[in-house]
Amino acid sequence: MKSVPFALALACTLALSACAHAGGAGRSLAAGQSAQLHPGDSVVLPDQSRLRFVEVVNDSRCRPQMQCIRAGEAVLAFELTGGDGAKSALSFDTSAEPRQHAGAWTVELQALDFAEPPQATVKLEAQ
């Protein structure tokens, strides 16, 4: 009989953990605003499309307090899913242009920190 309360407590804990790590599913981002996203996080845009930070594809940036020959770069993958379900891939390279056009939006990569997992700051602008 003791296993039933334990199983119930475990199921509740797992359900709450899943909600906490849902990737910002309920967060929205308006034009002119910035958002901080970890890989897997997403935000809903004003036209009901969704911007998701997929992953850091490559990161060769020089870490803080390190002496490097060159600064390095990071490549980030994002995905924009329109209201109709159509998906577009966005790729940001920290050594290149920080803005990408997608649908009715311009997304600007403002920062990428060195945390684990890394957190990207993006800003949304209407085109």
Question: Tens digits of per-residue pLDDT, 71-122?
Answer: 778 899 999 999 888 999 999 988 888 899 888 899 999 999 988 889 999 9
Answer yes or no: are the C-beta atoms of 64 and 114 closer than 8 Å: yes
Q: Let me know if residue 87 belongs to a domain.
A: yes
What pLDDT does residue 125 have? 94
Residue 7 has pLDDT above 50, yes or no: no
- The two tokens of residue 4 are 């039933």
If pLDDT is split at 50, 70 and 90, which confidence band does 53 have?
very high
Q: Which residues contact 36 (CB under 8 A, 6 or more apart)?
A: 119, 120, 121
Q: Let me know if residue 111 belongs to a domain.
A: yes
Give the containing element (helix H, strand E) for 17.
helix 3-20
If pLDDT is split at 50, 70 and 90, which confidence band does 3 have?
low
In DSSP terms, which residues pair with 79 in a beta bridge? 52, 89
Nearest CA to 90 out of 30, 81, 34 is that of 81
What pLDDT does residue 49 have? 93
Q: Let me know if residue 52 belongs to a domain.
A: yes
Q: What CATH number is associated with residue 73?
A: 2.60.98
Residue in this structure with the two tokens 């403002």, named with its chain if needed: 110
Domain of 67 in residue numbering reads as 23-126
Q: Which residues contact 80 (CB under 8 A, 6 or more apart)?
A: 49, 50, 51, 52, 87, 88, 90, 102, 103, 105, 107
CA dihedral 60, 41, 34, 122 (to 10 degrees): 30
Residue 45 has pLDDT above 90, yes or no: yes
